[in-house]
Structure 1
């Protein structure tokens, strides 16, 4: 029998986050085998199909999870949790319209089920349908006023509408309910930054990072806010932390390049833009800003080539057109 945290003697190893993650993976694999064994004996056992789907979901095997939920729903079409969980799996695969359809099915069966309302609202925000999203979150909060996730997601929709003070109030509501919600602290930081309250935003990001130090997005947002404060070295350190966690974060490389440019370190800026362009060769902003860094380094011919690259991707991109024109005029 494996018992976590029963002993803490000198000969015991602490269970790290990585080990715990592996432990959970192993347990889910065991559970999957358990459900498979049950279904060999009783292939029409609804709860086993549903449980199998949940376990596959936890293992990140979303398509297989959906197949298990579909089997559940063949046997019991009114099983509301299966429709909800199928929606979650579809959302994880980026199949947003299908996910909404599954959440709608769950809500047909139980109109007072807050979780599918909240998740539907979150997807609608991703799809740019902010007013519809707010209606979903408000309905979810009528049903469950203490739903921290719904308050947080409502705040995200309000931010997208430019209603930053209202968004901030929503994130504060979420944090009253769940003070250790890193996502809410991060989103509170975004709202504070948009309101020009940069130091308070940094404090919110720090709170988020105390809880979840390995989320690249929080380090990236903190870097942006340091940039707003003109603290460029601190911004670079935050972008570096983001890039340690996610080396493929094109925006972090791009903003790191911008920050080096602000410090007059043009070669380092060029190197950062090159990293961004390795990941996304069609980022015309990165080509444009690389052109600026080359121009400021006196490398005019290379700068023109960078501006040309930006213009190949976006022929009407005014900043690149103007910058190229300035170099050509100066050479005459």
Structure 2
């Protein structure tokens, strides 16, 4: 790899400085060399070495404003804002047209959460700078801190007009458009950006994401494809392309796109899971279960993997295998209500009602807030002959889910089963008022209750009122 003269000089300065530290000999560096060395160590997170370089630099160049500005930057980094501000004021008296002084002043104001003042300093910096892109980018960030997304967007766009290659500004422009719910406008902006910079894989990828967001999946696929043509190792674009192809029901192409991500890097549980789902969609059950197994092997903590395997076997009516896998999942995470829901419903399907009751109770204990969980629990208790427990649970559910006819019809039936006809008629009246059309739910769940004369009379009475 050929290095430029600048890169060679830079590497030479670094090795010379590190040699000096090892031998305790003092070498001379010009102030700009010191600046580069200090900033290199700061970027590497080696603040002690940066401080050593700064100390030596100021000893050799005590009047260097460049080094003093680096010192200010380090003081701000360490939250020594008052000392940094004092030093900046001294520098300002000497160099009132140095844009870096205004930028560092803005940095101090920003650290103190005075973002409007920071913007004012950056506007001053614009008068003296040659690097407009950097200042516009900083202004954009200040407006983001102030939640002024329109102004932030405007400044990031100005930044890109000055430096079309600034990827962080490009991401921020798209972020602002999305936050403002302006996906279509963002797409239009990216079209103009791509006209100027057609080989920006980031722009094509972002455009694809935006198309996906507005459900324009064909254009999303095309945009992601362009991103992969420009960068054939762009894992994110292959992944997103797969998702868009799934939406178009192009499952075989989606599989190829996901498989490309496996070739480029270590397999991710997400890609393996999506491949399994696609294989299941095209009816290749062998490959589907193979990839579901790879998913849980890759990431045993990913609940979607265990759920996919369990649901696959439920759809196949292979309840024993479904139960085997949901038990494996529960052995890893027994606080997961999605696992408990499946454990309960599978046990219910194979007639293991006590286990089903236990599972539904665990769902509720771990925060399941779905009405159907309470209803399934009540139905299981009814089957077990635990009528009063079912009434107690449904009464609790009625305080959470107000005026739900499915609860009321069940309470009516259960009260009749324990021979409390008054309460049975009360809840049946409520149920009929809330949803008369679904009265046959009572017949389905409680055929003996349905045939009672008092029940039929009440239903007929309500029919005449409708």
Q: Which residue of 2 aligns with 1:328?
A: 446
Selected match of 1:286 from 373, 379, 401: 373
Q: Distance in 2 between matches of 1:35 and 1:98?
A: 40
Paired position in structure 2 for 1:312: 404
Aligned partners of 2:380 and 2:307: how far apart in 1?
A: 22
Over 3 Å counting, the alpha-carbon distance change for 1:70 and 1:143 in structure 2 is same
Superposition deviation, residue 169 in structure 1: 2.8
The number of aligned residues is: 287
Label 1:262 to 1:189 Cα distance change in 2 as closer, same or farther (>3 A): same
CA distance, structure 1, for counterparts of residue 331 and residue 158 of structure 2: 49
Q: Distance in 2 between matches of 1:292 and 1:137?
A: 49
Report the TM-score, using the length of structure 1 for normalisation: 0.62
Alpha carbons of 1:204 and 1:329: their partners in 2 closer, same or farther (altered >3 Å)? same
1:132-151 → structure 2 map (5 Å cutoff): 132-151=219-238
Give the structure 1 partner of residue 326 of structure 2.
236
Quote the residue 2:16 is aligned against: none
Which residue pairs with 2:461 in the alignment? none
Would the alpha carbon gap of residues 131 and 261 (structure 1) be closer, same or farther in structure 2, given more than 3 Å must change?
farther
CA RMSD of aligned residues (A): 4.8
Instruction: From the CA coordinates, give the structure whose radius of gyration is larger.
Output: 2
Query: Is structure 2 residue 246 aligned with structure 1 residue 154?
Result: no
Aligned partners of 2:344 and 2:206: how far apart in 1? Answer: 36
The alpha carbon displacement at 1:156 in A equals 1.9
Residues 114 and 140 in structure 1, CA contact (< 8 A), matched pair in contact too: yes
| 1:183 equivalent in alignment to 2:234 | no
Greater CA drift, 78-87 or 296-305: 296-305
- 1:137–1:150 Cα contact (<8 Å) kept: yes
Distance in 1 (alpha carbons) for counterparts of 2:402 and 2:287:
36
2:332 and 2:146 map into 1 onto residues whose CA distance is 31
CA deviation map 1:17-56 (0-9, x unaligned): xxxxxxxxxx99x9xx9695396357458659969x99xx
TM-score by length of 2: 0.47
* Aligned residues of 1:266 and 1:293 also touching (Cα < 8 A): yes
Query: How far off is 1:188 after superposition?
Result: 0.7
Structure 2: 5+ residue runs without aligned partners? 1-43, 48-72, 78-99, 108-121, 123-130, 407-433, 453-466
In the TM superposition, 1:3-14 aligns within 5 A as: none
CA displacement at 1:190 relative to structure 2: 1.5
Match of residue 291 from structure 2 = 204
How much does 1:189 deviate?
1.5
The residue correspondences of 1:264-279 to structure 2 (distance < 5 A) are 264-277=351-364, 279=367
